[in-house]
Amino acid sequence: MKIYLNGVETTVEHTELEAVLIQLGYQEVTIATAINGDFVPLSLRKNTQINEGDKLEVLAPMQGG
C-alpha cells in the first residue's frame, strides 16, 4: 500500500500504525506521529489504521535552543 511518509511516497505492508512504524525502523526511537494532520498518541498507535494515500508525519524531538 502506498502512503506519504513526511511528504515522500512510501510503500508499506501493514495497515496498523504501530506495525508500519516498526517496518520503517522507528521502534527504538522517541517520536511523535500524525496521520493526515491529526496527532496520534503513543497509546493509540496499536489500534490506529492507515489507509492507502494517507499522509503519515513522523517527528523526532530536537535539542537546542
65 residues of the chain, pLDDT tens digit each = 999 999 999 999 999 999 999 999 998 889 999 999 999 999 999 999 999 999 999 998 877 76
Q: Which residue has the cell 495497515?
A: 15
Sheet with 32-35, side-by-side order of all strands: 8-11, 2-5, 55-59, 32-35, 38-40
CA distance 4 to 54: 6
- Domain 2-59 sits in CATH at 3.10.20.30
CA distance 20 to 35: 12
- Domain spans of the chain, in order of start: 2-59
